[in-house]
Structure 1
């Protein structure tokens, strides 16, 4: 019965891109699940495979360059990998919706925002134009846009960046999706608006009980919105756990690096930590642990053999040889411990 609450389960997903230079292995055996009503954050630097993973879930990988080499994407028990494009069109927008990073790439500049919200309601829910318009006004109101009955007749350029992102969220919510994928939805916004959008997404989740996959490179954002966190590096998940697991007891050196590079309110005197080096070339992924060349705690085995996913607790897993019973006991760096203490002091606010 353990699958009852699993809305989405990704099993051993591998995605490659065929380029003139060869095969880029963007996603290399990713496993995770999302429960109903839960927020899972997927965190990692640019190029770690976060967005490719979610594009695969949505059936939006660019063909023929991209190819799902193997794996399953089970949504309510059905494998999305086996669905035709026509079948995926029915699922996209209705059962699974996406909020992209830049609202201007999601909105049609020549079309009134009301019509853009109504489109999905008419197509997926069979509403009349009058019903769809009424619902569109309600949605704009729900996402915090003042005077929605006036704003529904306006064009995207008449909205600020934060308001445009609210419109995109309204479009994504139009058909009451069971899963909402938010791909860096606050990156283009200033800090105040960012906080408002995150608060909005939390409120909406409480009201609709939809599950959310939240993609970000910013661990600070994660602390306040997620239930669980998957840390991705070089096309793999290297650590997975609850928010408390990741912030109070991180185990993978890459997670230490991400935490150490997070600014805190009292960190103006100290220099921010930067992870040395660059992510690997996925045309030729390194042998062993992909993070080893950037990891000052790397062991000899890291250069030759890939670590398995070690279980730390019922909720917490990490793929690092440092968790092997014969590995030396290494503590997180001082900068990371400071972040962990700061996180504890503020009661979980990054």
Structure 2
């Protein structure tokens, strides 16, 4: 597949009164055209900062790009001015934020907000812009588009507002769409509808998607590949199947173990990851997850692990992958979930209407 985006050794810090927070510490990943990459991790792991960095929305001078490259179709976005990026935002790279009300102007009709995107990036008449706006509203599944076009954001439900935001993000046919926790504020029924909508739209227009989330259930539905972030670093990268069926990093085991599951008694069990993420004012020596891991070895507190290759698509930043490391088994919760996922995959249940 053709490479669309490549992030190389990206490091970003924020100046605070307490000192310099090393928010992103040597992040590497790529995205091919038409592909969906999910970036997952706890709050504060660096997911949203990474997405903001791609759009060059990291607030300066407090936020600083310390090193690295963000190559979009071969162009390094870090070297571009804000005026140059303004021309790319929306046209080349679109973004959907978590709360649609932060993206919509409450005093402006939604139709005008959609057509403004078109006027910004294309030479288009008012009549053609209106026609395109109505087409986009229909595309994202908003009924009565002619009437809705002239309504204000407060006249829409949360799910419908998010559909409007998606329409705005797709208005100029961007090659890359970044979705930063776009369904977190929605109930599960609407969340499922929005996720299905995004999959359908991607199939129609071929946009590549970076999906930022803490919800592994969402990842299972959306992603081709998954990057697991912890303390400003990617600690595991692989296909969705590799992350769910063959996770290798203790942090990934912890995330999978913390997903809700029903045991044989019908009771819901959750396994929390012990401790808290490290203070990135003073990043720990060695493996950042060592203090929270039941599998930490002496070297984890002394030396940062490299990224070990499991397969051509699967990479893990953990000393447990070293040839001389002891063999360990994932926690029972992960093994149990793997068995359930495997059974569900091999033996689908058909429900008659």
Distance in 1 between residues matched to 2:244 and 2:287, nearest whole Å: 22
Say which SS state the counterpart of residue 269 (structure 2) adopts.
coil
Name the structure 2 match of 1:312. 310
> CA offsets per residue over residues 262-293 of structure 1, 9 Å max, x none?
11355742521000011110100100000000
Q: Secondary structure at the match of 1:305?
A: coil
List 4+ stretches of structure 1 deviating above 3 A.
265-268
Give the alignment's TM-score, normalised by structure 2: 0.96
1:289-304 to structure 2, matched below 5 A, reads 289-304=287-302
- Determine which of 175, 195, 198 is the counterpart of 1:198: 195
Once the two structures are superposed, the pairs formed by residues 180-191 of structure 1 within 5 Å of their partners are 180-191=177-188
| Number of the residue aligned with 1:337 | 335
What is the alpha-carbon distance in structure 1 between the residues aligned to residue 244 and residue 342 of structure 2?
9
2:325 alignment counterpart: 327
Is 1:166 the counterpart of 2:163? The answer is yes
Secondary structure, in 3 states, of the residue corresponding to 1:328?
coil
Deviation digits for residues 186-240 of structure 1 (CA, Å, limit 9, x no counterpart)? 0000001000000000000000101000000111110010000000000000000
The corresponding residue for 2:214 is 217
Does the aligned pair in 2 maintain the 1:264–1:342 contact within 8 Å?
Answer: no
The equivalent of 2:70 in structure 1 is 73
Kindly indicate whether the alpha-carbon contact (under 8 Å) linking 2:263 and 2:269 is maintained by their aligned counterparts in 1: no
Q: Matched residue of 1:8: which SS?
A: strand
What are the within-5 Å matches in structure 2 for residues 88-167 of structure 1?
A: 88-167=85-164
User: What secondary structure, in the 3-state scheme, does the structure 1 residue paired with 2:120 have?
Assistant: helix
2:61 equivalent among 52, 61, 64: 64
Q: What TM-score results when the alignment is normalised by the length of structure 1? A: 0.97
Q: Distance between the aligned counterparts of 1:164 and 1:11, measured in 2?
A: 35
Task: Determine the C-alpha separation between the residues in 2 that align with 1:105 and 1:292.
Answer: 37
Shift of 1:346: 2.3
Instruction: Kindly tell me the number of residue pairs found equivalent between the two proteins.
Output: 346
Q: Is the 8 A contact 1:12 1:72 kept in 2?
A: yes
Per-residue deviation at 1:347?
2.1
Q: Cα RMSD over matched residues? A: 1.2
